[in-house]
Amino acid sequence: MASVEETVRGLKYDDNGLIPAIIQDRASKQVLMMAYMNVDSLLATIKTGKTNFWSRSRKKYWVKGESSGHTQDVHSIRIDCDLDTVLIEVTQHGAACHKGYFHCFYRRLDEAGQWQVTEQRVFDPEKVYKK
Amino acid sequence: MASVEETVRGLKYDDNGLIPAIIQDRASKQVLMMAYMNVDSLLATIKTGKTNFWSRSRKKYWVKGESSGHTQDVHSIRIDCDLDTVLIEVTQHGAACHKGYFHCFYRRLDEAGQWQVTEQRVFDPEKVYKK
C-alpha cells in the first residue's frame, strides 16, 4: 500500500510543481477560494489539518490565516478524475478573502457584461492586516 | 463602460492565455469539475449560455457535452479577488465526469492516505462515448 507521501507525489503537478486546490466551505458549500499547493504544502495540509499553500507571487509557503487568524480546518480532501485538481472541504474561521469578504468570488458578471459586487464585507482588511 | 469583450480581456490569464474555471452545480452546490478557458471560450460561454473550454491536452475548443450530451446551462459567472479564477454555477444535464460519475471529485483521501471512491457511477462511459 502506498504511503501518504507516495499518494501525494502520485498526483499531476504543473511545470512549476503546483496543483490547484479549490477550497469549499463545509457549512454553506460556498466555493471560498482557489490557491496552489506543491507536494510539501499538501503534505503539511494533511498533517496539520489546516490549509497550507504555495504563493506563486511571493514564492513562499503560507498557512491560510497566518496573518489574519482566519484559518481553515480541513474536513476532507478529494482528487479529480485527472489527478490534477484538489477539492478541500473546510470549516472557515472568519473569512477567506483578503479583501474582507467571506469568499473571493464576490463579483458576478451582470447582463451588461460588467462585474458587480454582490456580497458585503465581513471585516476591514486595513484593520486585520495591520495588527 | 467596458464592453463584455473588454471585461473578459481584462482578466488575468496564464502564460498560455488560460484561466481556470471552477464549475459548480446549482442544485446540489457540488463542485463538478475544473477546466480551462481562454478569452474566446469564455466569450462563447457567455454568449451561448453553455460552458465552453480550451483543452490543454488536445489543444482545441470543446463544448462540455458535445460528445456525451451532458451539457451545462450557465446560471452565473463570478470572478475572484485576483481576477485569475472563474466560478461558474450551472445546471448539469446528465453527469459532469467523463468517467461516468456526476462529478469529477469522486475520490476522497482516507485516514491511511489512500484515495477511496465514495460515489457511484451514473452512466457507463463506454456506452455514452461510443455513440
**Cα distance between residue A117 and residue A103, in whole Å:** 12
- Model pLDDT for residues A13-42, shown as the tens digit of each residue: 999 999 999 999 999 999 999 999 999 999
Residue A90 pLDDT level (bands cut at 50, 70, 90): very high
Phi, psi of B46 (to 5 degrees): -65, -45
- Stretch B15-31: mean pLDDT: 97
Residue A1 above 80 pLDDT? no
Interface ipTM: 0.96
Using a 10 angstrom Cβ sphere, with 0-12 exposed, 13-18 middle and 19 or more buried, the burial of residue B124 is: exposed
- Candidates A106, A129, A108; CA nearest to A119 is A106
Residue B131 above 60 pLDDT? no
- Stretch B26-33: mean pLDDT: 98
- Does residue B110 belong to the interface with chain A, where contact is any CB pair within 8 Å? no
- Does residue B106 belong to the interface with chain A, where contact is any CB pair within 8 Å? yes
CA A60 to chain B, closest CA, distance in angstroms equals 18
pLDDT value at position B2?
Answer: 82
pLDDT value at position B7?
Answer: 98
CA B78 to chain A, closest CA, distance in angstroms equals 4
- Does residue A123 belong to the interface with chain B, where contact is any CB pair within 8 Å? no
Residue A47 above 80 pLDDT? yes
CATH class of A4-98: alpha beta
Express as a percent the part of chain B with pLDDT over 70: 99
Indicate the average pLDDT of chain A. Answer: 96
C-alpha cell at B32: 463538478
pLDDT value at position A71?
Answer: 98
Residue ranges covered by each domain of chain A: 4-98
- Does residue A18 belong to the interface with chain B, where contact is any CB pair within 8 Å? no
The pTM (predicted TM-score) of the whole model is 0.97
The answer to whether domain B4-130 has CATH 3.40.50.300 is no
**What is the DSSP secondary-structure string of B72-120?**
EEEEEEEE-TTS--EEEEEEESS-S-TTSSSSS--EEE-TTS-EEE-S-
Residue B42 above 90 pLDDT? yes
Residue A113 to residue B3, Cβ atoms within 8 A? yes
Q: Which residue of A has its CA nearest to B29?
A: A29
